[in-house]
Structure 1
């Protein structure tokens, strides 16, 4: 008999953004909303924290906005993770795992993190268990009808087309991407295999390599952005923060 695991999807109608807390409890997820436009004046500071490899990667971006986004995301990532580990931000060392997902070489407490960006937003999530996040700008002009037939089930397509189509499309899309990032499956896999409608779904073992139950929370940062977080932690509590 094929062993089965569950994926539970839910949506938070209202979230409260609070001050940052840099101590992580078991089964807790910390979410940091970083606005690129608010940190442009600190670019020199961020560059001073980056490794030579990170600086080289930033310089390979053709457009200035992409170079700035990379420097801010890596700089803030270092600053925030450094506070959890009580280490200088510039001392953190990162490495890619077999799925090309970065992890901390400095970490002895098994902190998991993931990062996503869209337009002016960088979203960083930190947990004690494997985690994935995706954030998207809700673009009403995006031609999602060209995408849904190849990557969504008929039930998901009907849900998208019922009402608030752009918002519903991006909600379900962030769930698919966040799930793949959390499990390390890779975006090239068949996205129809990963259920995104609200409620609890059965996942067969041959669909996901991680033998665990998963849950996803979707929420709107504001009227322009929507995000989903995937985790295999137990009874999860969330802390939504605007960083210092």
Structure 2
């Protein structure tokens, strides 16, 4: 006997409203110096570098090891999805596992193409922080350079925020666990993003943009793969394996 399916209504006004309000706020942020002011808090004028530039914790643990852990988790999701075609205990989770593979892949794959398209410089490359590059905001033209920047959006923050997919993957079957997954994704993305800010790799807005993209990707994949709009108000249905 497979687990009962309890479709839940999806409030798109809420799920879309918050990220789009955040986008508006980020666009308004373009007219301020908040990014630079916050980055300046993490820059040691005496040492001439960011306070976390060579931190073992930030570079080796929060950057390398955590990224490897999320990659491993993604690979396990792929293995689980493939196994769901052969192992009866996973039959009823096939859609969720397939969703997880798709959402995690897209939530990390979008970063590199956008970096190459926007060519935004990292804080540590700017003249204000001991580098050689000229600062430009996201929507401004890029100054001439021999080395285009690759710092928008925040790639490492996506390592944490991509876990929004766990929330959507669990929201219909395990609502309480889904809320815990939502908290995990938010905290992980925020901590990893903050770590890179302390190293001078990103501005605050870079990481917030990443969170918005990861949320919208997770939501879009959920709506296309898992959301059962026609039965969202229906009672739980138990289905057995034929």
TM-score over 0.5 for the alignment? no
Which structure has the highest strand share of the two?
1
Task: State TM-score, norm by structure 1.
Answer: 0.24
**Higher radius of gyration, 1 or 2:** 2
Which structure has the highest helix share of the two?
2
